[in-house]
Amino acid sequence: MNTADNIFPNIDFLETESVISLNKTGTHLAKAGEMQKAEEYFLKAIELDPNYSQSYHNLGILQAAQHKTNGAIKTLKKLIELEPEDPEHYNNLGIVYFLEGSFYDSESYFRKTLEIENDHPGALFNLGKLLFNLERTDEALSLIEQFLNIDNSNTEAMDVLGMCYLKKNDKEKAKFLWENALDINPDLHQVRNKLQEIIISGL
């Protein structure tokens, strides 16, 4: 005779599978542009299992993509409570604060990312771009150089680093970086325009 234990040997596993299924459906809907429906599925997953971190990650990224920054901040902070040692969560929250225009908080979370993982590529680049925008050129330059030591073919980083050097009046290094970026991607029209400007103005 089957007992309840035999029929339902691992009910926790079945519940987890349901949460995974809800997240998969939500992800498919988001990729199809059905943002509101996707959000509903992620919220259902959270309701079913409030400790399943992937649901918060998916919901937070979705909210950020829709510029629902207040919701994204709340969601990603909950995710950090669940997984406080994952640097990616801090980096993502730094991006959301940047999008919101809260640069102090953005810097704080990028730096927290680097405390956990000192060579985290995303945080190095994101913090570098933020500090460049805040006209803290020397700090930005150092961070983006560190990033390019990890990813030496990133043309956006080459562009920003070139602008850092241009601000320091080192046109030769700016020219070198922009030429390298164009060698990788000749369709970078803004980079080409900046390169032509410094060539015309004379090194």
Average pLDDT of the chain to the nearest whole number: 92
One-letter amino acid identity for 27? T
- pLDDT at residue 201, rounded to an integer: 82
171 within some domain: no
10 within some domain: yes
One-letter amino acid identity for 50? P
103 within some domain: no
Residue pair 51/43 in contact by the 8 Å Cβ criterion:
no
CATH number at residue 57: 1.25.40.10
183 within some domain: no
121 within some domain: no
pLDDT digits (tens, 9 = 90+) for 3-14: 434 443 443 444
In angstroms, the CA 112 to CA 92 distance is 11
Spatial CB neighbours of 175, under 8 Å, sequence gap ≥ 6: 162, 195, 198, 199, 203
* Six token digits for residue 158: 């080459």
End-to-end CA distance of the chain: 89
118 within some domain: no
**Number of folded domains in the chain?**
1
* Predicted confidence band of residue 165 (pLDDT cuts 50, 70, 90): very high
- pLDDT at residue 199, rounded to an integer: 86
Q: H/E element holding 202?
A: none
* Six token digits for residue 64: 């950020």
158 within some domain: no
Task: Quote the domain boundaries for residue 22.
Answer: 1-84
pLDDT digits (tens, 9 = 90+) for 108-162: 999 999 999 999 999 999 999 999 999 999 999 999 999 999 999 999 999 999 9
pLDDT digits (tens, 9 = 90+) for 125-139: 999 999 999 999 999
80 within some domain: yes
* Higher per-residue confidence, 49 vs 14: 49
* Predicted confidence band of residue 200 (pLDDT cuts 50, 70, 90): confident
**pLDDT of 41 above 80:** yes
